[in-house]
Amino acid sequence: MTTAQTPHEQALRGAAHTALAAPSIFNTQPWRWEIDGGHARLYADRRRQLLVADPEGRLLTVSCGVALHHARMALAAAGHAVGVHRIPDPADPDLLAELTIIGTHEPTLAELHAGSAIARRHTDRRPFTSQPVADATCHDLIIAAETQGAHVHLIDDNHIAVLAFTAIKAGALQLSDPAYRAELADWTHRPPWSGEGVPTETAVRAVPRRVPVRDYAPFGGDTTRPGRESDRGARYLLIYTDADNPDAWLQAGEALSALLLAAVTAGLSTAPISDITELPTTRDQLRTLLPGLGHPQVAVRVGYPPPGEPPPPTTRRPAEDAINPRC
């Protein structure tokens, strides 16, 4: 027998459902929601951690932060005021956040836009066009992300070569590691019905561009047509934090979500970039780009999409696997 859900419980379930669309490292969707009695608890799902690319679970936590922000925006846009308790129980570090509806709320325009951008956001790995993303637009994205507590550094043109160098180095080092190749092959060859992983159809083959992107199809397979552009108008934003611990990683994820949704609202295409932060050597090199001290967490490429078919959307796990799952 199922017990009737209260309106708050229904709204929390709806938000967790909406948050399934959140981007995550290798589309691992490394979270689980437990909803009961007016609370939604977000847990890290360690079984979905990338043990080679992400041994500390940093990008797992960043991904959960994205899902948290998506859920918060869905609730805010639906007119709910929400209390958020981050990492509430030191005895249970996998419990990353607890959401409680505490009243009604008049959504801001930014929240309404963010809520409606969730379904329209997809990672686009094609090179973006030469149409430059204006400084003022980048400024808006930075403000949106920084209200979530992390910092954002806009990489200026003089430093693109450093970013490109770290991306080339990360790609070469990772792909020469058999353990990384095995992990990549695993997550790029999931059966379509599983609703997880990165299908090669969403990857693009290597083409000349300002900063190379992670190669998700080094073993072959169908890929998206890259078009004729080379990212000349693209801008690169680096999210970084003062601390380097789970609280900071969660905050970086919330900032990543805010930045991506604001970019979609501004008519931009987006692609997160984290390979450059996955090895200590390239992550250290990225630090030299920051205006002060800080820990690089994840970068984002934003730009205007080329003409032609966009990559197909990636799929998601069934909701019952991620929301109040049986095991």
Contacts with ligand FMN by CB under 6 A lie at 23-27, 59, 62-63, 66, 122-123, 125, 198, 213-214, 271-275, 298, 314
Cα 307 to Cα 126, 172, 208, 228, 322, distances in angstroms:
10, 30, 17, 9, 35
Q: How far is the CB of 182 from ligand FMN (least distance, A)?
A: 18
Q: Which is nearer to ligand FMN, 274 or 282 (CB)?
A: 274
- CA 265, 271, 276: angle at the middle one, nearest 5? 140
Q: Which is nearer to ligand FMN, 11 or 44 (CB)?
A: 44
Q: Which is nearer to ligand FMN, 198 or 323 (CB)?
A: 198
Are 296 and 8 spatial neighbours (Cβ–Cβ below 8 Å)? Answer: no
Q: How far is the CB of 326 from ligand FMN (least distance, A)?
A: 25
**195 three-class SS:** coil
Residue nearest to ligand FMN (CB): 23
Closest CA to 101 of 11, 173, 23, 172: 11
DSSP type of residue 106 = -
Q: How far is the CB of 125 from ligand FMN (least distance, A)?
A: 5
Are 266 and 141 spatial neighbours (Cβ–Cβ below 8 Å)? Answer: yes
Q: Which is nearer to ligand FMN, 119 or 161 (CB)?
A: 119
Q: Which is nearer to ligand FMN, 94 or 124 (CB)?
A: 124
Q: Which is nearer to ligand FMN, 111 or 275 (CB)?
A: 275
Torsion over CA of 17, 203, 268 and 227, rounded to 10 degrees?
-150
Q: Which residues, 6 or more positions from 119, have their beta carbon under 8 angstroms from its beta carbon?
A: 21
Q: How far is the CB of 278 from ligand FMN (least distance, A)?
A: 8
First to last CA, the chain: 19
Closest CA to 209 of 164, 150, 239: 164
Q: Which is nearer to ligand FMN, 11 or 60 (CB)?
A: 60
Q: How far is the CB of 277 from ligand FMN (least distance, A)?
A: 9
Are 124 and 118 spatial neighbours (Cβ–Cβ below 8 Å)? Answer: no
Q: How far is the CB of 27 from ligand FMN (least distance, A)?
A: 4
Q: How far is the CB of 206 from ligand FMN (least distance, A)?
A: 13
Q: How far is the CB of 185 from ligand FMN (least distance, A)?
A: 15
Q: Which is nearer to ligand FMN, 82 or 204 (CB)?
A: 204
| Helix (H), strand (E) counts: the chain | 10, 8
Q: Which is nearer to ligand FMN, 99 or 259 (CB)?
A: 259
CA distance 115 to 6: 22
> 3-13 burial by CB neighbour count: b if 16+ within 10 A, else e?
eeeeebbebbb
Q: How many CB atoms lie within 10 A of CB 249?
A: 26
**16 three-class SS:** helix
Q: How far is the CB of 291 from ligand FMN (least distance, A)?
A: 22
